[in-house]
Structure 1
Amino acid sequence: MTGRRSRPPSARRTRRPRRAAPARRALRVRRAAALGALTAALTGGCGLLPAGTGSDGRAPVTVMTWAPERTGATDKPGMPAMAQAVARWVNASGGIDGHELKVLTCDDGNDSVGAAACARRAVREDVIAVVGSYSQHGRSFLSPLEAADIPYIGGYGVTGEEFTSPLSYPVNGGQAALLAGNGRQLGEECGRVFLVRPDTVAGDALPKLLDAGLAEAGAARSVDVPAPESAREYTAQAERVLAAAPSGSARPDCVTAVLGDRTDTFFDTFRRARDDGGREVRIASVLGGVDQSLVDRTGGARGPYEGAYVTGWYPVASDDRWAPMRRVIREHAFDDNRVDPADAGVQTTWIAYEVLRRAVAEVDADRVTARDVHRVLDDGLSVETGGLTPRLRWRFEDLLAARDHPRLVNADVTFQTVRSGRLTATGTGPHDLTRTLSGP
């Protein structure tokens, strides 16, 4: 008989139970513990948090800040950079009412196509607001925002559409208040005023605004001097001002330049032309064209801006009311030299984010939508800015009804002059330009 021979019992191997490796035992323990915790949570009615929420169940809020950054013309890179610093500060402090703040930035390229592209991206990203931004192309960016019910909070105010759109919530008087205020300031100091401004659609509206302020001060209309927005020198414009016959007034003639980042380029050309034998003409501008950092860079009290007249929206940069903003910049902007606390764009972004923080906290919901923010702002949210602006509120009865600027809620400006190398407030101020902007 053939077959396998079995081993005697004594010869058979005895299998001993293997001991689990320590790592495998630990994994089983962790899995069991996790399953137990999940079961307890579900049976206790707690459930799991939705993806993208914080530990307290509140979803992040996403906003966008845009500005031209690398165009070589009127760039405002400090505004998106300030927005990112604010986000770091807010999130380090626990967010806005428990919501993490996410800030998207966009370079609008200083053209209508880029502005529209930034707005469409804001819609795609489902932002709850566009905050503290700059663009010269209001028609291009506001239409997509309006269609998606996305509020535009604290724009720089360079376009008229920012003061007409029902989705826009301005925090300052924009270019309109600055130019009208500059006219009133210069009307009290100057014999005749020359206005050097961009030869653009936005620039075409500036002479009328300046003249409104001049008229209120009892002065004659300005002399309009259009100029290329991104020129490297302005010899033709400087010579036109200096070649004009004196006005015959006991007051000096003045030239005010409103060319954004190119304002200093004009005044550098103007200074050289004047040094070659041109007559004495006082210089002036608005904040954004001339600020403290520019005065410092060009020699302070010994530089060309000593004695210049400047109109701004807010208190001077050295005012103690800016201390909270300066602290955030110091602690959360790190060494980002784009963020200049004396820059009007940076200051506007700071104030705009104060409005956003108040609006999101007022919604008091786990998930905040753009429509929620829109509703809160329309329902009478009142925002105090520590004296940097009047109280801000956008109910119908709070709108100042300024001509061509129906959404205006803050028409205050400050008059400043450069004394001993420092921008210094002049007069009692602030000055309310509501009546000037509401004139015929």
Structure 2
Amino acid sequence: MTSSTSDARAVTILTTFAVVAASAAVVVVALRARESSRANSSARHERGERADVLRAIGNTPLVRVESLSAITRCDVYAKCEFLNPGGSVKDRVARRIVEEALESGELVEGGVVCEGTAGSTGVSLAMVCRALGVECFVAMPDDAAMEKSALVEAYGARVVRVRPVSIAHRDHFVNVARRKAESARASHGAGAGFFADQFENLANYRAHKEGTGVEIYDELGDALDAFVCACGTGGTLAGVGAALLEKNPAVKIFLADPQGSGLFNRVVRGVMYTQEEAEGKRLKNPFDTVTEGVGINRITENFKIMLERSNMLAGAIKVSDVEAVAMSRFVAKHDGLFIGSSSAVNLVAAVRVAQSLGPGHRVCTIACDSGLRHMTKFWSNEYLAAHGLTPRDVECGERLDFLDRDVQVTPARCY
């Protein structure tokens, strides 16, 4: 069989798998939405709430990842945020940001919500804005997966893809979105343009503190030993961590960080530093990794919450692209979980935490989005090969040989 034929067959198999996974996700969301609607329709009517798609956000399934649990002899759980109606954990954040803006008057009906994002937040905002009767403008780096901008446009939002540059540059996608909001206000008055600002807007943190974190505790209670996830804005880890610690001060909160991001060193050494920058080997901006949506080289207001709270973070785990790619293939083959890049980073870190705690513990993380948004990049062997990555053989369900044996959980010393 020729290489091209083999590649074509692989693409066909992956595409079929993706369609099946997407169909299953739609069915699960529909069933959850219907069940919730029947149970709460009278209460919603009394409160005057609309029974729209936004009511289906949250209360996502928590699944035990059987293969990783068996290997670590711990219970490894993943909160399946890809089963939100917009397909990612960012649905929660988008709804909270837009609803708070409408309540405060910073945004008026018919106005435009503007955001700079690597993709998933843009998709969620486009969905939420359509449901709430406002417009949406999204600026994203042009190296983000094409699936993401296509989804944003499918909701009727406007997308502008810009070249990746430093956040200090006026043409960084975040700054492009900010100027768009300012222009709308200048032309049409207060409330006509609203900059969502997911990195600094603490509605992000509140969405997870009052939603995601509470849901995890409700299901696992005090039996949960640790929670771990990667950070882009920092809202998920800060919000979930705060909610869990309020209920159980003994739970341990860990940061997962992809290669090229400076957050790991900020947490364990107290300084924002990346080896790629020091060695002058950075391949792309903002940092050298094939993962999307996590990792950053600045401290956001959402992340700052964890730095200002003494001993909130127990430690951090560095995750390589090689490990993330292999983990995504491993859980797809052994658990039927078809995940994106940030979810793969989270599962690698969850295994590290489980191994550090020892058998019998419970560890939870976030499955942020599915592999459906990463077919042309993270799930493309051709794209990975161009970046010097080849998915490892993950047929064996009894070992995780693809994990770097020299990497350990590092205690936090960031205060």
Same fold, judged at TM 0.5 (above): no
Task: Please tell me whether Structure 1 or Structure 2 has the larger radius of gyration of its CA atoms.
Answer: 1
TM-score (normalised: structure 1): 0.27
